[in-house]
Amino acid sequence: MLDISSLPFFSKMILIIGFALGFVSFMFVMRYPIMLILMKLSPGYRESIKKELARSKVRKYRFRS
């Protein structure tokens, strides 16, 4: 096991940055499956996503004209 308190400061920072990048990339890759699971489990979330998609389509077409 790695004892983090015994590491130098620079190594701690590299370790923290690495974990943060890994977590962010995991959330970036898994955002659509997470959204699908939430939409399956929660009807309220499903309705809010539908409304948001409808709003974004209206905004998109409004800027084109």
pLDDT at position 39 is 83
Contacts by residues 6-9 (CB-CB < 8 Å, ≥ 24 positions apart): none
Dump pLDDT digits (tens) for 4-55: 888 899 999 999 999 999 999 999 999 888 888 888 888 888 888 888 888 8
Q: Where are the alpha helices (DSSP H) in 42-64?
A: 43-64
Domain ranges (residues) in the chain = 31-65
Question: Could you tell me the pTM of the whole model?
Answer: 0.53
Res 65: pLDDT: 54
Cβ neighbours around 20 below 10 Å, total: 10
